[in-house]
Amino acid sequence: MLRANQIRNCLVALTIAAIASQTNTAHGCLGCYRPPYRSLLEKIEASDHVIVARADDATGAKVIRIIKGDAVELDQIVSVNKANSNQNFAGELQLLRRSIINDDWDLESSLDRQLLGFLTLAVQLSPNAAAQKTLRDQTEYFRFFLPYLEHADREIADSAYAKLAGAPYAVLRALGKQLKPAQLKSWIESPQIAQKRKSLYITLLGVCGGQAESQLVKQWIDRGWQNQNTDNLAALLVADAELNGEPAIRLIENAYLQNRERQLGELIAAVNALRVHGQADGKISRDRIKTSFQLLLRERPQLVELIIEDCARWKDWSVAAKLMEIHAGGQQPWNNAMILKYLQACPLPEAKRFVTRVSATDARAK
């Protein structure tokens, strides 16, 4: 049995980790692991001005290409930040970037023609506001990165991986016809590829696989269960649900949400997998995922933190009565603020009355 303080401490740590790993996008696939560091392409996208220059000495460089921004002209000599410069980089192509408030350019990386070509194309293709584009437009943009997964150049491979790991699940589904299950299985089973990195490939296998891939995913889930290994469990459950539909959702409910033997990490992975399909509202409907979340709240009310924001976002007010019960019971004071915010947003009259009553008697709530 999980103790309340254990759950609270673990949830806080895991929430912080989740936020750190999702800095690429607020809408990316939650089944995919995103590194806490930024790829080279992400650094470029976060910069106001990016150029390619040929260094003449340790502090100066001649601009030969402008990738982003309009702060300089071709052939102009720019000042390189001494703290990031290298005495031996004269004559080489360098990627330099800076923000609006800086005068000197920061040296980011040496370049060869292959990396330069990839970065230039990626920046040119980048939509100004991807969230406002149609699914077709987003799919076309993210399709560009597929051939660069596990590229020999680590900067290219990391940038492509980070982009696709940050893509919405609906986009990954739309990319399914472009994927090759055999290649994905090869990467997933390769000991040379980091375990966490395989979460994206498992998710992609789910959107392009068939019966053989379905059986393989089930074997991986069973193996992890037997070994008490949660590596990529969220991605495996996402893929299983994509490949098998309703039976896979029932498996999550029976084997994880209702099984008292499951550990907190497994429960969080199961909820993340459900959330992915709830957000996509595709093959598995959001209404079906709401039912799973309602089950979790009945079975494990101490895990309310895992689902309450999703319930509010999806306007699922069916859990309001249970949340009022949890708050009134006083067993989870660390969740009170979150519960009250949900009830404030809830249009049900009984929720409004509850918030008014609590605010009148509890100074902290007010």
Alpha helices in the chain (DSSP H): 4-21, 40-45, 113-125, 135-143, 154-165, 169-174, 181-189, 198-208, 211-227, 233-244, 246-252, 264-280, 286-299, 308-313, 320-329, 336-345, 349-361
Q: Which token pair is 43?
A: 């650094």
Q: What is the pTM (predicted TM-score) of this model?
A: 0.84
- Give the tens place of pLDDT for each residue, 274-323: 999 999 998 899 999 999 999 999 999 989 999 999 999 999 999 999 99
Per residue in 50-86, pLDDT tens? 999 987 765 678 899 999 888 889 988 888 876 655 5
What gap in Å lies between CA 98 and CA 104, rounded to an integer? 7
Question: What value does the CA radius of gyration of the chain take, rounded to a whole number of Å?
Answer: 24
Nearest to 194 by CA among 9, 365, 34: 34
CA angle 46, 159, 31 (to 5 degrees): 100
- 22 near 34, Cβ under 8 Å? yes
pLDDT of residue 93: 85
What is the CB neighbour count within 10 angstroms for residue 166?
Answer: 23
CA 255, 256, 262 angle in degrees (round to 5)? 105
Output the CA–CA distances (angstroms, integers) from residue 274 to 36, 126, 150, 234, 268, in the order listed: 23, 30, 28, 9, 10
**Which residues of the chain fall short of a pLDDT of 70?**
1-28, 30-31, 35-36, 57-59, 82-91, 128-132, 365-366
- Three-state DSSP class for residue 344: helix
